[in-house]
Structure 1
Amino acid sequence: MNAPRTQRSKPRRVDIGVCTFRRAELEHTLRSLAALSIPANTVLRVIVADNDVEPSARSLVYALAGELPFELAYVHCPAANISLARNTCLESGGGDFLAFIDDDSTASPEWLAELLKIADTTGADAVLGPVQAVYGPGAPDWMSQGDFHSTKPIFVNGEIHTGYSGNVLLRRTSPKLAGRRFNLARGRSGGEDTEYFARLHQAGGRIAFAPSALVVEPVPAERTELSWLMKRRFRAGQTHGRLLTELQPNRAVWPRVGLAAAKAAYCFVAAGANAIFADRRNRFALRGVMHVGAVSGLLGAQEIKQYGERQTAGKRGNAA
């Protein structure tokens, strides 16, 4: 564990990466970063990585550059591949830390300070914060009551084994992160961040959690469909199954397939038993779909694509 810093002879430099694809909320996200409480002796820079074929976010970024109280850099990476955009932020950054926030999220004023505080006190290589979903009035009651879109890390025996990119701080100076990049092959299927952090953990990297480093994220109408959540959970299961075989290649596959299938069957039975309770029914059903996805991933099926699908202008083609 790295010892916490008590004195610094030069300012600590922090980059914030915002990967974007035709997101109207980008301006609101950037303005929320302008309201951050920046710790003393810390210099902030924001990198916007535009993943659209056309440089659709450039004019907005250039217009805001003179208004916002930090350096604002724009990089065009036109490949409709979210891994390329994330890697662009990694390669364009030069600070001691690099944080990621989604281009439709709002950072709380203490967001960055809380991430840095946990990084300093734990010496972790990566620090995750919670992403709180905000549902609109058109969302189903069962969905908003069950809060199916918010994100927090999962602890396994007191450790975090993987993570996500919607709210995270990376210690760029850590040897565990040297040369580490997001997998371009998963840049359209999704799960590239799950793999990145799983491999970081496997390499001995530490992932910590900052519960007060909150960002909030609106849930678009198209994501309030049960079918969207099922597709999302299935792909997450596929990623989990593929990673199990990649990270532990010497373990037999069929016992894992059997276990995942048994879990899926249990969840579907439980969903049927809770048929009259929409929240419980759908929660069990979604877990069952995730385990079916794990079976698919364990058997080597190609992961479904969520990124790069063309949509109408003004909507993001990437499913974050």
Structure 2
Amino acid sequence: MTQPPSPRFQVDICVCTYRRPYLAETLGSLATLELPANVQARIIVADNDAAPSARDLATSIAPSLPFELIYIHCPASNISLARNACLDAAGGDYLAFVDDDSTVTAAWLATLIETAETSGADAVLGPVRSVYASTAPSWMRRGDFHSTNPVWVDGQIHTGYSGNVLLRRASPHVEGRRFNLSLGKTGGEDTEYFSQLHAAGGRIAYAERALVLEPVPADRARLQWLVKRRFRSGQTHGRLLASQKAGRKPVQIALAAAKAAYCFAGAAAVGIIPHKRNRQALRGIMHIGAISGLLGVREIRLYGEEPTGGRTHAA
């Protein structure tokens, strides 16, 4: 009996970029993707700089890629603006996001699509594994503080991230949904996006083998950067809690304060073990950030800053 032909899938791979030369490595890794014959890919590069600084790099690499590349200039310095430009320009069955400071593995996209098709999920996350230089602090390398994986709550993923994700464009929970422009300089726009997608009934799945690698530059291999990142992450979580459970704000503040105290006590208890101490302390700082978000304090700005050593924000 003749098998029916496999359905064909069109996928747009979106890379938002901001003054980051590592974009060349990202695009180069996309050229090595191993895709099934029924999958056709296209690359969208959204340049978020005020000037079209990534245009020359993107256009020079385009002829060497096995996929069509579309360059979009979408100023300025607001990552939500760039993400939304990708959503507007996409026309495939699926849309994938990967950061401009990462490289993908050969099976990345095929694995995301396979998981989306078998699960029927509206969004599929993959792991982002950090790659540390030998100069990074030993406690940081041992504790792996920069890798990104989903958080499961009662067997479900309630939110996500944009560094490694596939979206089903026809989903009613994806179609028309956009990233919050007011969070485009602070970060947390992806946390909000996926939290709202889930709250609206969307399902988020996980593809463990859809691996993305992310080198950790020297300016991020510092405790100070992790403190700032965790605090802002807590602010985003607190703001979302405040919007979802406005009448329980005092209870949420008290709960976050208790969690922070517990984490700081835990940090003191393992003070002689640096990676365990810092992990507990950073969790405590995240809960302090949640209190800040619950109180409506404006989220600190993480992105859109001047580049350091040729590298600055992507997402």
Residue 72 of structure 2 corresponds to 75
1:253 Cα deviation from its structure 2 partner: 0.5
Alignment of 1:18-167 (within 5 A): 18-167=15-164
DSSP-derived class of the 1:221 partner: coil
Post-superposition CA distance 1:156-189 (Å, at most 9, x none):
0000000000000000011111210000000001
* Mapped partners of 1:10, 1:155: distance in 2: 31
Q: Does the Cα contact within 8 Å between 2:46 and 2:73 map onto a contact in 1?
A: yes
Matched, 1:272 2:272: no
Residue 286 of structure 2 corresponds to 290
Residue 197 of structure 1 corresponds to 194
* Mapped partners of 1:246, 1:115: distance in 2: 31
Residue 235 of structure 1 corresponds to 232
Matched, 1:303 2:311: no
1:24 Cα deviation from its structure 2 partner: 1.4
Identity %, equivalent residues: 62
1:248 Cα deviation from its structure 2 partner: 2.9
Post-superposition CA distance 1:25-54 (Å, at most 9, x none):
111110111100112211100000001111
1:252 Cα deviation from its structure 2 partner: 1.4
Post-superposition CA distance 1:66-123 (Å, at most 9, x none):
1110000000011100000000110000000000001011100000010001000000
* Mapped partners of 2:194, 2:219: distance in 1: 28
Count of residue pairs brought into register by the alignment? 313
1:247 Cα deviation from its structure 2 partner: 2.4
DSSP-derived class of the 1:181 partner: coil
Q: Does the Cα contact within 8 Å between 2:239 and 2:293 map onto a contact in 1?
A: yes
* Mapped partners of 2:41, 2:314: distance in 1: 28
DSSP-derived class of the 2:64 partner: coil
Q: Does the Cα contact within 8 Å between 1:118 and 1:208 map onto a contact in 2?
A: yes
Give, as a single letter, the amino acid of the residue that structure 1 aligns with 2:88.
E
TM normalised by structure 2 equals 0.97
1:315 Cα deviation from its structure 2 partner: 2.2
TM normalised by structure 1 equals 0.95
1:9 Cα deviation from its structure 2 partner: 7.4
Q: Does the Cα contact within 8 Å between 1:306 and 1:319 map onto a contact in 2?
A: no
1:65 Cα deviation from its structure 2 partner: 1.4
Aligned-residue Cα RMSD (Å) equals 1.3
* Mapped partners of 2:4, 2:166: distance in 1: 21
Long gaps (5+) in structure 2: none
* Mapped partners of 1:263, 1:101: distance in 2: 33
